[in-house]
Amino acid sequence: MMRNSFVRVLFMFIMMFLLIQFRYSILNAVLRMTLIRRFAVSSLMRMPWLRGLFMRQMFKY
């Protein structure tokens, strides 16, 4: 009985650690993607010449 509870606590610790690690990396990636997209859209809306430059860069390759 004691060993079973110990294994369960250890499993919970491992799961919490993995969840925290992956949660921070996933949140970081999602936040970075959304921030970059929002910043790009706002800058494109604000500056039409930047949009032309961006399109030229995209279609040059």
Residue range 40-52: average pLDDT? 71
Burial of 28 (0-12, 13-18, 19+ CB in 10 A): exposed
Which pLDDT score, from 0 to 100, does residue 11 have? 93
Q: What is the pLDDT of residues 8-27, one digit of tens each?
A: 999 999 999 988 888 888 88
Whole-angstrom distance between the N-terminal and C-terminal Cα of the chain? 65
Q: In this predicted model, which residue has the larger pLDDT, 39 or 55?
A: 39
Closest C-alpha among 28, 58, 31 to residue 44: 58
Name the more confident of 60 and 36.
36
| Cα of 44 vs its chain's centroid, Å | 22
Query: Which residues span the domain enclosing 50?
Result: 2-60
Residue 2: how many other CB atoms lie within 10 Å: 6
pLDDT of 13? 92
Residue 50 has pLDDT above 80, yes or no: no
**pTM surpassing 0.95?**
no
Considering its fold, how many domains does the chain have in total? 1
